[in-house]
Chain A
Amino acid sequence: MNPLEASYRRLLRAYPVEWREERGEELLAVLMEWAPDHQTRPGVRDALDLIWNGLRTRITSASRAVPQTVMTRMSLLSLAGGAAMSAFCLRYGEVPPPYTPTPHMLITIAPFYSLGTVLYVAWLATVGLLATGVVRNARRATKVLVALTGFVGLTSVASRWNIIAAPPLVLMGFMGLLALSALGAPKVMTGSSRAVLGGLAAIFTGSFFPLYAAFWGAPESGGFYFYRSSSLWIVERCGGFIALALAIGGALASLRRPGWLVAAVLAGVPWLGLALTYWWGPSPDLILPGVLVAAAGGLALLVRDGMRAVSRSRVTLR
Chain B
Amino acid sequence: MASKELREPTFLVLAALANGPQHGYALMQSIQESTQGEVTLRPGTLYTALDRLTADGLITVTGEEIVDGRPRRYYDLTEEGGARLTEAVDRMEARARAARTALASRRRTREVTA
Give 1 or 0 for each of A231-268: 1 = CB within 8 Å of chain B CB.
Answer: 00000000000000000000000000000000000000
Residues from chain B with Cβ under 8 Å of A60 in the complex: 51
Chain A residues with Cβ below 8 Å from B44 are: 27, 46, 49-50, 52-54
Interface size for B (C-beta < 8 A) is 20
A46 touches B43 (CB 8 A): yes
Closest CB in chain B relative to A28 CB, distance in Å: 7
**Cβ contact within 8 Å between B51 and A26:** no
A interface, by DSSP: helix, strand, loop or mixed?
helix
Residues B12-46 near A (CB distance < 8 A): 24-25, 28, 42-46
Judged by a CB distance under 8 angstroms, whether A25 is at the interface is yes
Nearest CB on A from B94, distance (A): 26
Which residues of B26-82 are within 8 A (CB) of A? 28, 42-48, 51-52, 55-56, 67-68, 70-73
Which residue of B45, B68, B73 is within 8 Å of A53 (Cβ)? Answer: B45
Residues of B within 8 A of A57 (CB): 48, 51
Q: Which of A29-37, A70-78, A127-135, A275-283 lines the interface with chain B? A: A29-37
A25: chain B residues within 8 A (beta carbon) = 70-71
Q: How far apart are the CA atoms of A77 and B72 in the complex, in Å?
A: 45
Q: Smallest CB–CB gap between A123 and chain B, Å?
A: 29
Interface hub of A27, A29, A31, A53 (most chain B Cβ within 10 A): A29
Contact A27 B24 (CB under 8 A): yes
Q: How far is the CA of A30 from the CA of B72 in the complex (A)?
A: 9
A49 & B70 in contact (Cβ 8 Å cutoff): no
- Give the B-binding residues of A (Cβ under 8 A): 23, 25-31, 33-34, 45-46, 49-50, 52-54, 56-57, 60, 190-191
Tell me which of B25, B48, B67 contacts A34 (CB under 8 A).
B25
9 smallest A-B Cβ distances: which pairs?
A: A53-B44, A29-B70, A49-B44, A49-B42, A30-B24, A50-B44, A53-B48, A33-B25, A30-B25
A190 near B28 (CB under 8 angstroms)? no
Taking the closest CB of chain B, its distance from the CB of A190, in whole angstroms, is 5
Query: Is B51 within 8 A of A50, CB to CB?
Result: no
Q: Which residues of A contact B72 (CB under 8 A)?
A: 26, 29
The 8 Å CB contact of A26, one of B28, B42, B70, is B70
How many Å from the CB of A44 to the closest CB on chain B? Answer: 11
* Cross-interface CB contact of B43 among A34, A56, A191, cutoff 8 Å: A34
Say yes or no: A28 contacts B51, CB within 8 Å: no
Residues of A within 8 A of B46 (CB): 30
Q: Using a CB–CB distance below 8 Å, which chain B residues touch chain A?
A: 24-25, 28, 42-48, 51-52, 55-56, 67-68, 70-73
Question: What secondary structure prevails in chain B residues at the interface with A?
Answer: helix
Residues of B within 8 A of A50 (CB): 43-44
Q: How far is the CA of A52 from the CA of B42 in the complex (A)?
A: 12
A26 to B70, CA, bound (A): 6
Q: In angstroms, how far is the closest chain A Cβ from the Cβ of B113? A: 44
In the complex, the answer to whether B48 meets A190 with C-beta atoms within 8 Å is: no
A29 in contact with B67 given A23-B47, A49-B44, A53-B47 (CB within 8 Å): yes
Residues of B within 8 A of A53 (CB): 44-45, 47-48
Chain A proximity of B92: nearest CB distance (Å)? 23
> Which one of B24, B42, B56, B68 lies within 8 Å of A190 (CB-CB)?
B56
Contacts of B42 in A (CB 8 A): 45-46, 49
CA separation between A50 and B42, bound complex, in Å?
A: 9
Known contacts A34-B28, A190-B55, A28 near B70 by CB under 8 Å? yes
The verdict on A29 contacting B45 (CB below 8 Å), with A34-B25, A190-B55 known, is: no
For A31, the chain B residues whose CB sits under 8 A away are: 43
Which residue of B is nearest A54, CB measured?
B44
